[in-house]
């Protein structure tokens, strides 16, 4: 959706569905890219976006009986000047204040920048210095062969074959999460300052941890899962006061998904073109109010932890629940031993064996502790067992180390594991009782959870027995009606580092809004201190309303993401998009959309005849568009440009470098400006300009000149290409292009410019843009003066 790089469906490793029978595997298909981005940009992208300039040159050669003409070559030079100087100038100044954009693939940019200068220098060599006013067959062949040479060298630079350095950032950019795998593999819809810790021991404890803090995963249309949308709705609702409608929440979800996707230049070009003609947009439009809510959620520092507690694991005393008394503890290395307690709750009148074993973490069995693997038995009426583990004191300084003790039970024994089935033991040298506080400023629990388990952590020491008082305070939730509050004392034994305050929640099955209450710590005893997070807010969400909301949002999100796809999969969809303003999205259509839609209605309906992209993997669409409709338009443009030039008495080469060049480059201007503001790097905005300019020469001039050279060679003659104004235009452009590249290099290395190609301080970025615009004006002025014979530069 976000890239025009061809892909194919590939089977991935089989997975087993939770509901499938044993031995039954589900094979899923995912799309993987089979084209390198750099190669695609210099081949398919160049053929698509620069097709008018390239075909204009080919059409001109054919129309003149394989004789040289000025419109096509001059358009290529004029378009190159507009792209490099004007588009770059606009992108430099378009970056918001205080922000910069750097080119990431700088080696690829160096290769294409060199060829963008060399290509026009080569034209001057073959037209003036080597065989003046003639194009030999070998010169045409070499000009055309520079195109594959450019692609190969750019690919080598992109893969960095000439360096042993591993670009970690680039490698991680290509990591993709599996779509539609197990619940642990499902993609998550998250803000950039949050992360998701997936299900932990869910089959045993039913507890789902969803902590927001970390990286963003990439989601694609058709693969948005309910869990992902559920988390997003919970998070965004905290910053909107719960006033978002399902439609509004779905819009923000679609906006987040689109931000997470990687967009290349083609995506921005398509969007810019549709903006110009009032077509269906492929970007999400939200009003200022929703945008404000979105930005608040995106930039928020403190984000609540979401915990879905399980209800009574013993099922009313039917089963014995075996678990540790604490999920973690610490021990001094010099202490020699550590003792952890295992508790039994629920049914206690039966004999229950359980197994335990130690597992290495950073601490290693044998050198840091003595490993154990054994079976203990709870006799009838017995509710606690202690496990003693020997710690090895090697008298060497080392950082704190951890290992784990894991419990397991036989399901046939009438016992189940509790929530704390793994205990993390830290070996430290610490005599401090520690600091107590909550792990997060707020938590969210479903009304049906039954119990809210609120973790309290003990940091900066774990020596001795300490305690802390806690009490609840009503906010929108009421003690006795919505939860069982009050006050109590939480006690930590020696070495314990985390414990929970368990508060019962009532599920009244009635429809009601979210409710919350506060829990506060006070009066720490045993030498312990209370940390900064002494209070936390507990929010109780209504399950029925919430689940219904998530279902509605999920449906709307999928509809929105389908609407944001670049192309329709059927001819019917293409005609609907073409015949309706803004592709049928009348609500978000502007006055300009209506005006441009009616002005371009006939063309849009005509182009809807193009085969849909799902035919033959998109190749049929590509070829019909390129060799059919774009070729037809090029013929019309060629005739109109020549006729218009005659009417206003303007030479073909001046018409080409001004009106035709600006017209063919206008979509790129809007696309590059949008990409410069939206993307993290400058590659999608200006990184492809130099490559496109090079390809225009090697293909746009190399191919038609090769055809004409072969034609005249077969007749025993030489293809005549008068240098004239074209040679002067090439020379003037080359000088301006070199100065522009030098300016971009200076912007990247000089701190005053922000050490980036785009953006920086307002005064310097506007100065840079002004210099580039002045270079373009200088180029146009010199070309006009030369054509009008006001100046005469000997070549």
CATH number of the CATH domain containing 469: 2.60.40.2030
- The helix or strand, by DSSP H or E, that contains position 546, with its residue range, turns out to be helix 543-563
Domain of residue 368 covers 320-428
Structural domain contains residue 399 = yes
From the CA atom positions of the chain, what is the Rg in Å?
34
Is residue 385 domain-shared with residue 514, that is, in the same domain?
Answer: no
Contacts made by residues 739-748, CB under 8 angstroms, sequence distance 24+: 739/775, 740/84, 740/85, 740/88, 740/772, 740/775, 741/113, 741/117, 743/768, 743/771, 743/772, 744/88, 747/92, 748/102, 748/103, 748/106
CA–CA separation, 558 and 555 (whole Å): 5
**Phi, then psi, of 15 in degrees rounded to 5:** -125, 160
Structural domain contains residue 50 = yes
Structural domain contains residue 146 = yes
Is residue 42 domain-shared with residue 89, that is, in the same domain?
Answer: yes
Confidence at residue 305, expressed as pLDDT on a 0 to 100 scale: 38
Structural domain contains residue 253 = no
pLDDT tens for residues 216-256? 233 334 445 556 666 666 666 666 555 566 666 666 776 66
CB atoms within 10 A of CB 548: 12
Local structure of 378: helix, strand or coil: strand
Question: What parts of the chain have a pLDDT lower than 70?
Answer: 1-34, 46, 48-49, 163-251, 254-312, 314-316, 395-398, 429-431, 508-513, 542-569, 582-588, 638, 793-795
Is residue 638 domain-shared with residue 777, that is, in the same domain?
Answer: yes
Give Dmax over CA atoms of the chain in angstroms: 110
Query: Partners of 377 in the beta sheet?
Result: 353
The strand ranges marked E within 451-545 are: 451-459, 466-474, 487-492, 498-504, 515-525, 529-530, 535-541
Which positions ≥6 away from 208 have C-beta within 8 Å?
199, 202, 306, 307, 308
Which positions ≥6 away from 763 have C-beta within 8 Å?
none
Is residue 345 domain-shared with residue 447, that is, in the same domain?
Answer: no
Cα–Cα–Cα angle for 728, 732, 738, nearest 5°? 145
Tokens 């910053």 correspond to what residue? 239
- Which of the listed residues 522, 546, 570 is the one where a domain comes to its end? 546
The answer to whether 326 and 497 have CB atoms below 8 angstroms apart is yes
Tokens 């013929």 correspond to what residue? 635
Intra-chain end-to-end CA distance of the chain, in Å: 49
pLDDT tens for residues 555-591? 655 555 555 555 556 777 777 777 877 666 666 677 7
Is residue 507 domain-shared with residue 403, that is, in the same domain?
Answer: no
Is residue 421 domain-shared with residue 538, that is, in the same domain?
Answer: no
Structural domain contains residue 720 = yes
Structural domain contains residue 731 = yes
Tokens 């249309």 correspond to what residue? 221
Q: Which alpha helices (H) appear in 564-688, and where do they start and end?
A: 571-579, 591-599, 601-607, 619-624, 631-647, 652-655, 661-678
Is residue 453 domain-shared with residue 416, that is, in the same domain?
Answer: no
Structural domain contains residue 230 = no
> Number of structural domains, the chain?
3
Is residue 766 domain-shared with residue 642, that is, in the same domain?
Answer: yes
Is residue 759 domain-shared with residue 626, that is, in the same domain?
Answer: yes
- Which of the listed residues 428, 455, 490 is the one where a domain comes to its end? 428
Structural domain contains residue 308 = no
| CATH number for the domain that contains residue 739 | 1.20.1420.30
CA–CA separation, 409 and 314 (whole Å): 14
CA–CA separation, 561 and 253 (whole Å): 10
Is residue 622 domain-shared with residue 490, that is, in the same domain?
Answer: no
Is residue 48 domain-shared with residue 143, that is, in the same domain?
Answer: yes
Confidence at residue 33, expressed as pLDDT on a 0 to 100 scale: 60
Confidence at residue 438, expressed as pLDDT on a 0 to 100 scale: 93
pLDDT tens for residues 579-630? 877 666 666 677 777 787 777 787 778 877 888 777 777 778 777 877 777 7
Tokens 């059919």 correspond to what residue? 628
Is residue 485 domain-shared with residue 343, that is, in the same domain?
Answer: no
The answer to whether 451 and 502 have CB atoms below 8 angstroms apart is yes
Local structure of 630: helix, strand or coil: helix
- Which of the listed residues 385, 403, 428 is the one where a domain comes to its end? 428
């Amino acid at each position: 959706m976000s890239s025009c790089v061809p892909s194919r469906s590939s089977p991935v490793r089989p997975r087993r569905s939770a509901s499938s029978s044993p031995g039954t595997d589900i094979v899923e298909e995912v799309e993987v890219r089979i084209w390198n981005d750099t190669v695609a940009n210099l081949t398919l992208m160049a053929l698509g976006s620069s097709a008018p300039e390239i075909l204009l040159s080919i059409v001109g050669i054919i129309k003149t009986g394989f004789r040289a003409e000025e419109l096509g070559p001059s358009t290529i030079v004029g378009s190159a000047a507009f792209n490099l100087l004007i588009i770059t100038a606009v992108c430099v100044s378009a970056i918001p204040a205080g922000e910069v954009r750097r080119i990431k693939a700088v080696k690829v940019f160096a290769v294409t920048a060199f060829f963008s200068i060399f290509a026009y220098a080569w034209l001057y060599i073959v037209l003036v210095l080597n065989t003046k006013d003639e194009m030999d067959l070998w010169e045409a062949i070499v000009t055309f062969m520079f195109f594959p040479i450019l692609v190969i060298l750019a690919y080598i630079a992109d893969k960095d074959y000439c360096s042993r350095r591993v670009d970690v950032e680039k490698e991680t950019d290509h990591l993709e999460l599996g779509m539609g795998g197990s619940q642990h593999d499902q993609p998550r819809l998250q803000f950039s300052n949050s992360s998701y810790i997936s299900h932990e021991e869910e089959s045993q404890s039913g507890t789902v941890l969803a902590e927001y803090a970390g990286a963003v995963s990439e989601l694609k249309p058709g693969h948005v899962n309910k869990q992902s949308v559920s988390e997003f709705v919970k998070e965004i609702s905290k910053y909107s006061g719960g006033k978002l409608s399902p439609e509004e929440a779905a819009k923000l979800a679609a906006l987040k998904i689109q931000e997470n996707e990687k967009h290349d230049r083609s995506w921005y070009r398509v969007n810019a073109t549709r903006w110009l003609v009032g077509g269906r947009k492929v970007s999400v439009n939200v009003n200022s109010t929703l945008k404000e809510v979105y930005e608040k959620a995106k930039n928020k520092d403190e984000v609540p932890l979401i915990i879905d507690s399980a209800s009574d694991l013993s099922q009313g005393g039917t089963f014995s629940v075996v678990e540790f008394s604490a999920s973690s503890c610490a021990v001094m290395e010099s202490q020699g031993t550590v003792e952890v307690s295992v508790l039994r709750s629920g049914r206690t009148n039966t004999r229950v064996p359980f197994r335990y074993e130690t597992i290495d973490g950073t601490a290693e069995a044998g050198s840091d502790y003595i490993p154990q693997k054994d079976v203990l038995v709870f006799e009838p009426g017995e509710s606690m067992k202690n496990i003693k583990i020997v710690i090895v004191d090697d008298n060497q300084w080392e950082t704190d180390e951890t290992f784990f003790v894991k419990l397991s039970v036989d399901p046939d024994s009438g016992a189940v594991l509790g929530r704390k089935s793994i205990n993390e033991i830290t070996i430290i040298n610490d005599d401090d009782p520690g600091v107590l506080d909550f792990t997060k400023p707020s938590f969210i629990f479903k009304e049906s959870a039954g119990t809210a388990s609120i973790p309290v952590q003990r940091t900066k020491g774990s020596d001795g027995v300490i305690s802390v008082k806690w009490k609840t305070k009503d906010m929108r939730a009421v003690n006795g009606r919505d939860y069982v509050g009050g006050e109590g004392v939480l006690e930590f034994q020696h070495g314990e580092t985390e414990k929970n305050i368990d508060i019962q929640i009532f599920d009244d099955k009635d429809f009601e809004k979210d409710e919350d209450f506060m829990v506060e710590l006070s009066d720490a005893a045993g030498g312990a201190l209370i940390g900064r997070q002494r209070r936390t807010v507990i929010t109780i969400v209504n399950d029925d309303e919430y689940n219904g909301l998530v279902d509605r949002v999920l449906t709307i999100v999928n509809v929105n993401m389908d609407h944001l796809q670049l192309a329709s999969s059927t001819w019917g969809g293409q005609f609907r998009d073409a015949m309706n303003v803004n592709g049928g999205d009348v609500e978000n259509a502007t006055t300009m959309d209506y005006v441009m839609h009616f002005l371009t209605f006939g063309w849009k309906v005509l182009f809807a005849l193009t085969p849909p992209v799902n035919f033959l993997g998109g190749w049929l669409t590509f070829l019909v568009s390129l060799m059919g409709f774009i070729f037809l338009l090029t013929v019309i443009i060629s005739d109109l440009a020549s006729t218009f030039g005659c009417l206003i008495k303007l030479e073909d080469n001046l018409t080409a470098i001004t009106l035709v060049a600006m017209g063919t480059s206008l979509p790129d201007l809007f696309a590059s400006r949008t990409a410069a503001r939206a993307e993290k790097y400058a590659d999608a905005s200006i990184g492809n300009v130099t490559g496109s300019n090079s390809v225009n020469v090697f293909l746009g001039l190399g191919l038609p000149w090769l055809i004409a050279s072969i034609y005249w060679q077969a007749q025993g003659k030489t293809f005549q290409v008068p240098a004239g104004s074209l040679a002067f235009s090439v020379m003037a452009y080359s000088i301006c292009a070199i100065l522009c590249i030098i300016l971009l290099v200076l912007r990247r290395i000089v701190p005053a410019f922000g050490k980036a190609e785009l953006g920086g301080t307002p005064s310097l970025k506007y100065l840079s843009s002004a210099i580039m615009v002045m270079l373009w004006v200088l180029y146009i002025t010199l070309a006009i003066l030369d054509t009008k014979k006001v100046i005469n530069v000997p070549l």
